[in-house]
Amino acid sequence: MTVGTVPAPRRRGLLGLGGGGWALVLPLVLFLAVFFLYPLVQMARESAAGGFAAYESILTSPVYRKVFGNTLTIAAATTAICLVLAYPYAYVMNRVSPRMRLALMAFVLLPFWASLLVRSFAWIALLQDSGLVNQALQALGLTDDPVSLIRTTPGVLIGMVHIMLPYMVLPLYTAMARVDDRLLLAASSLGANPRRRFVRVFLPLTLPGLAAGCLLVFTISLGFYITPALLGAPSQAMVGEVIAEQVEQFGLSTASALGIVLLTGTLVILVVIALLAKRLGRSAR
Amino acid sequence: MPDNNTVTTGAALTLSGVTKKFGDAVAVHEIDLDLMPGEFLTMLGPSGSGKTTTLNMIAGFLQPDSGTVTLDGREITRTPAHARNIGVVFQNYALFPHLSAVRNVAFPLEMRGVSRKEALRRAHGALELVELEKCADRRPAQLSGGQQQRVALARAFVFEPGLLLMDEPLGALDKRLRETMQLEIMRLCRRVGSTVVYVTHDQEEALTMSDRIAIYNEGVIEQLGTAEDLYERPATTFVADFVGDSTILKGESQGDGTVVGAGWTAAGPERGATPKGDPASVVIRPEMVRLSPAEDAKSTVNQMTGEVADVVYLGSQVKYIVAGDGGDEVHAKVARSAQWSRFERGDRVSATWSAEDCVVLSS
Lowest mean pLDDT among B35-44, B55-64, B123-132, B173-182: B173-182
Of B236, B348, B246, which Cα lies nearest the Cα of B291? B348
Yes or no: is domain B13-232 CATH 3.40.50.300? Answer: yes
Higher pLDDT, B339 or A10: B339
Q: Is the pLDDT of residue A283 over 70?
A: no
Higher pLDDT, A109 or B102: B102
CB within 8 Å: B88 and A205: no
For residue B2, what pLDDT band results from cuts at 50, 70 and 90? very low
Which residues of chain B have a CB within 8 Å of the CB of A183?
A: 94, 96-97
Residues 6+ apart with CB under 8 A from A171: A209, A210, A212, A213, A216
- The ipTM value here is 0.82
All domains in chain A, ordered by first residue: 62-248 (1.10.3720.10)
- Long-range CB contact pairs, A121-127, < 8 A, 24+: A121/A230, A123/A155, A123/A158, A123/A159, A123/A162, A123/A227, A123/A230, A123/A231, A124/A150, A124/A230, A124/A231, A127/A155, A127/A158, A127/A231
How would you list the strands of the sheet with B74-75, edge to edge?
B25-35, B13-22, B66-71, B74-75
Mean pLDDT across the stretch B307-314? 91
The minimum CA-CA distance between A153 and chain B, rounded to whole Å, is: 39
Of B348, B316, B350, which Cα lies nearest the Cα of B333? B316
**Chain A interface, mutation test: which of B89, B111, B138, B166, most A Cβ atoms within 10 Å?**
B111
Mean pLDDT across the stretch A176-202? 95
Q: Does B79 touch chain A (CB under 8 A)?
A: no
What pLDDT is attached to residue A12?
Answer: 58
Which residues of chain A have a CB within 8 Å of the CB of B111?
A: 190-192, 196
What pLDDT is attached to residue A281?
Answer: 66
* CATH code of the region B246-362: 2.40.50.140
Global pTM reads 0.81
DSSP designation for B82 = G
B13-232 with B246-362: one CATH topology? no
Mean pLDDT across the stretch B242-268? 88
Q: Give the model confidence (pLDDT) of B176-230 as tens digits.
A: 888 888 988 888 888 888 999 999 988 889 988 999 999 999 999 999 999 999 9
CB within 8 Å: B90 and A180: no
Mean pLDDT across the stretch B287-306? 86
Of B227, B234, B214, which Cα lies nearest the Cα of B284? B234
Nearest CB to B96; choose among A189, A191, A201: A201
Q: Does B293 touch chain A (CB under 8 A)?
A: no
Q: Does A205 touch chain B (CB under 8 A)?
A: yes
What's the one-letter identity of residue A247?
A: V
Domain segments of chain B: what residues? 13-232, 246-362
What pLDDT is attached to residue A6?
Answer: 47
Which residues of chain A have a CB within 8 Å of the CB of B84?
A: 189
Q: Is the pLDDT of residue A54 over 60?
A: yes
Which residues of chain A have a CB within 8 Å of the CB of B100?
A: 285
Which residues of chain B have a CB within 8 Å of the CB of A182?
A: 90, 92, 94
Residues 6+ apart with CB under 8 A from B303: B264, B265, B297, B350, B351, B352, B353
Of B36, B41, B29, B43, which Cα lies nearest the Cα of B13? B36
Angle at which helices A62-95 and A203-222 cross, to 10°: 140
What is the longest distance spanned by two Cα atoms in chain B? 79
Distance of CA B145 to the CA centre of its chain: 22
Nearest CB to B103; choose among A186, A193, A285: A285
Residues B282-298, buried b or exposed e (16+ Cβ, 10 A)?
A: bbbbbbbbebeeeeebe
Q: Does B63 touch chain A (CB under 8 A)?
A: no
**Chain A interface, mutation test: which of B79, B96, B135, B153, most A Cβ atoms within 10 Å?**
B96
Which residues of chain B have a CB within 8 Å of the CB of A186?
A: 88, 90, 94-96
Residues 6+ apart with CB under 8 A from A192: A200, A201, B82, B107, B111
What pLDDT is attached to residue A122?
Answer: 86
For residue A4, what pLDDT band results from cuts at 50, 70 and 90? very low
Q: Is the pLDDT of residue B47 over 90?
A: no
What pLDDT is attached to residue B5?
Answer: 45
Q: Give the model confidence (pLDDT) of B121-147 as tens digits.
A: 999 999 998 889 999 999 999 999 889
Q: Is the pLDDT of residue B8 over 90?
A: no
Q: Which range, B103-107, B190-194, B357-361, is most confident?
A: B103-107
What pLDDT is attached to residue B3?
Answer: 44
Q: Give the model confidence (pLDDT) of A239-259 as tens digits.
A: 888 899 888 888 888 899 999
What's the full length of chain B, in residues?
Answer: 363
Q: Is the pLDDT of residue A217 over 50?
A: yes
Q: Give the model confidence (pLDDT) of A66-110 as tens digits.
A: 999 999 999 999 999 999 999 999 999 999 999 999 999 998 888
Q: How far is A66 from A68, CA to CA, in rounded Å?
A: 5
Mean pLDDT across the stretch A264-276? 88
The minimum CA-CA distance between B96 and chain A, rounded to whole Å, is: 7
What pLDDT is attached to residue A124?
Answer: 87
CB within 8 Å: B60 and A188: yes
Q: Does B88 touch chain A (CB under 8 A)?
A: yes
Assess contact for B33 and B69: CB atoms under 8 A.
no
